[in-house]
Structure 1
Amino acid sequence: MASTSRVWFITGASSGLGRDLTETILQKGETVVATARRLSLLNDLVTQYSSERLLVIGLDVTQQQQVVDAFSQAKARFGRIDVVVNNAGTTNLGELESVADGQAKIIMDTNFWGAIYVTRETIRFFREENPAGAGGLLLQISSIAGLVGTPGRAFYTASKHALNGLTECVAAEIDPAWNIKITLIEPGSFNTELISKTTFSDPHPAYSNPNLPFTRLRESWATRVGRGDSRKAAEVFYKLAGLPDPPLHFVVGGDAIQMARDKLAELQASVDMYESWSAGLDRDM
Structure 2
Amino acid sequence: MSSPRVWLITGASTGFGLEMARCALAHGDKVVATLRKPAVLADFAAKYPASQLLVVKLDVTNAQEIKDAFQQAKAAFGRIDVVFNNAGYIVAGETEALPEDAARKMFDTNFWGAARVSQEAVRFFRDENSPPGGHLIQNSASAVFTNIPLMGFYTASKCALEAITDTLSKEVSPAWNIKFTSVEPGAFYTEFMNNAKSVDQPSAYAEPSNPTSIMREIHKHPEALPFKLNDTAKGVQKIFELSRLSSPPPRLPLGRDAVKFLSDAAAAHVKVVEEYSSWSDDLTIKK
- Whichever residue aligns with residue 127 of structure 1, its letter is R
Shift of 1:193: 1.8
In 1: Cα distance, 2:159 partner to 2:166 partner: 11
Match in the other structure for 1:158:
156
In 2: Cα distance, 1:12 partner to 1:195 partner: 14
In 2: Cα distance, 1:146 partner to 1:111 partner: 13
Contact 2:149 2:215 in 1 (8 A): no
Match 1:236 to one of 226, 238, 262:
238
Match in the other structure for 1:283:
285
In 2: Cα distance, 1:51 partner to 1:283 partner: 65
Q: What root-mean-square deviation, in Å, do the aligned CA atoms of Structure 1 and Structure 2 show?
A: 1.4
SS at match of 1:65: helix
Shift of 1:147: 3.0
Aligned residues: 283
1:94 and 2:102 are equivalent in the alignment = no
Shift of 1:284: 5.2
Match in the other structure for 1:248:
250
Match 1:168 to one of 166, 169, 183:
166
Shift of 1:40: 2.2
Shift of 1:204: 1.2
Unaligned runs of 5+ in 2: none
In 2: Cα distance, 1:251 partner to 1:46 partner: 31
In 2: Cα distance, 1:110 partner to 1:211 partner: 33
Match in the other structure for 2:198:
200
Provide, for residues 120-176 of structure 1, a one-character-per-residue CA deviation record: whole Å limited to 9, x for no partner. Answer: 0000000001014x3111101111123331211010010011011101100000000
Match in the other structure for 1:63:
62
Match 1:183 to one of 171, 181, 184:
181
Shift of 1:220: 2.9
Shift of 1:283: 3.0
In 2: Cα distance, 1:220 partner to 1:176 partner: 45
- Whichever residue aligns with residue 140 of structure 1, its letter is Q
- The runs of at least 4 consecutive aligned structure 1 residues that moved more than 4 Å come to none
- Whichever residue aligns with residue 75 of structure 1, its letter is K
- Whichever residue aligns with residue 12 of structure 2, its letter is A
SS at match of 2:204: helix
In 1: Cα distance, 2:44 partner to 2:243 partner: 22
Deviates most, 141-150 or 55-64 = 141-150
Deviates most, 211-220 or 246-255 = 211-220
Provide, for residues 177-204 of structure 1, a one-character-per-residue CA deviation record: whole Å limited to 9, x for no partner. Answer: 0000111111111011222111111111
Match in the other structure for 1:114:
113
Deviates most, 201-210 or 63-72 = 201-210
Provide, for residues 75-107 of structure 1, a one-character-per-residue CA deviation record: whole Å limited to 9, x for no partner. Answer: 111110011001100101110122111111100
Contact 1:61 1:110 in 2 (8 A): yes
* TM-score (norm. length: structure 2): 0.95
SS at match of 1:48: coil
- Whichever residue aligns with residue 168 of structure 2, its letter is V
Match in the other structure for 1:269:
271
